[in-house]
Amino acid sequence: MSTAGSFIIVTGGDALYFPLIIELIGSIHAACPAGAGRPAIGVIDGGLAGSQRAELIAKHGCLVAEFAPTDDAEKRALRARPALAVNLGKLHLDQMFPGFQQIVFMDADSWVQDWRAIEYLLGASSGGALAITPSWNRYREHAVAVRWWLWRFPQLRSFNIKNARHAGLPHRVRREVGVKADLNAGVFALNAAAKHWERMRHWQRLILRKGKPFTSDGLAMALTCHIDNYPLQQLPAFCNYMEKWLYNPASGKFVDYFYPHEPVGIVHLADQKVLRFDRMATIAVAGTDGLTHQISLRFAGQGNEPINAQSGVVLATEEAGQ
């Protein structure tokens, strides 16, 4: 396992995402093993208020950096939507946060429930591979997304296919990457010295000529690993969980939906827009006790106080299925 000084955990966001950034920081501090030393935390400023930026630095000891576009396509994307500095900046972390051996990135709407997820990310990336979780997994109701034309002719659909088409990439590239696993860029780890960084930036520059800036990071990673065959370690959903939710009231933790219901490592609210922006919002989550819990998926603590990892946010319960 890497020492606290050898890696940095980076996130990012704008003023709207600031509360989530604070919760992520709190979860890192709560989950970090006692005596291990708190890791460095970096934040990409995607439109933070001055007071928010100052709080991150002074109160939470964060390293805050701004993404400086150098390509015309990057500049156009940021003029249209400044918060895209986070998506674009993900592929420049080796330059934005120098001095660390390994870099872990986590979207602001994710948080650490079990520190083993961070250890897995660091371990998987220690040999020079991109450590990341694929989107195709056992939690999907359909192994492959297919659109049927005239109810007879199948058309394969995936993140890679759609975004490679939008980017106008060559047909050969689209065919090859389209049948490979989508890589979720919301959580990943990579050595600072890995050759992936420059190659991912190369692909992103090509994508931005015609493609979508918001998805350019994930597609660039897929192209680098699937087309150029750069080393890749595909991690379990434990390291970036946004699947079917299951809550264990005995432990106060979210657990894997499928047996043996191990605790989730990193909770990701990628598909939970209401929960991301309303701390009091809840959803119905099945429990290991057979009840349905009306609960929030957000980190239970506030700020960087020592949070009781057993605490939950259960507001009501009823018999499951009623």
* Widest distance between CA atoms in the chain: 62
pLDDT tens, position by position, 261-286: 999 999 999 989 999 999 899 999 99
pLDDT score of 302 more than 50: no
Higher local confidence (pLDDT), 101 or 312: 101
Q: How many CB atoms lie within 10 A of CB 77?
A: 21
Q: Which of 283, 223, 286 is nearest to 257 (CA)?
A: 286
Residue pair 244/285 in contact by the 8 Å Cβ criterion: no
User: Is the peptide bond preceding residue 260 cis, with omega within 30 degrees of 0?
Assistant: yes
Whole-angstrom Cα distance, residue 3 to residue 270?
29
Domains of the chain, residue spans:
4-135+181-238, 145-177, 240-319
User: Is the peptide bond preceding residue 154 cis, with omega within 30 degrees of 0?
Assistant: no
Q: Residue 109: pLDDT band by 50, 70, 90 thresholds?
A: very high
- 229: enclosing H helix or E strand: none
Beta bridge partners of 287: 247
Whole-angstrom Cα distance, residue 108 to residue 24?
7
Residue % of the chain over a pLDDT of 90 = 67
Q: Residue 181: pLDDT band by 50, 70, 90 thresholds?
A: confident
pLDDT score of 33 more than 80: yes
pLDDT score of 128 more than 90: yes
Topology at the third CATH level for domain 4-135+181-238:
Spore Coat Polysaccharide Biosynthesis Protein SpsA; Chain A (3.90.550)
Residue pair 295/288 in contact by the 8 Å Cβ criterion: no
Mean pLDDT within 53-82: 93
Whole-angstrom Cα distance, residue 213 to residue 223?
15
Residue pair 41/61 in contact by the 8 Å Cβ criterion: yes
Q: Is 253 exposed, middle or buried, given 0-12, 13-18 or 19+ CB atoms closer than 10 A?
A: buried
Whole-angstrom Cα distance, residue 104 to residue 191?
9
Residue pair 224/230 in contact by the 8 Å Cβ criterion: yes
The SS3 assignment for 118 reads helix
Structure tokens at 168: 């106008």
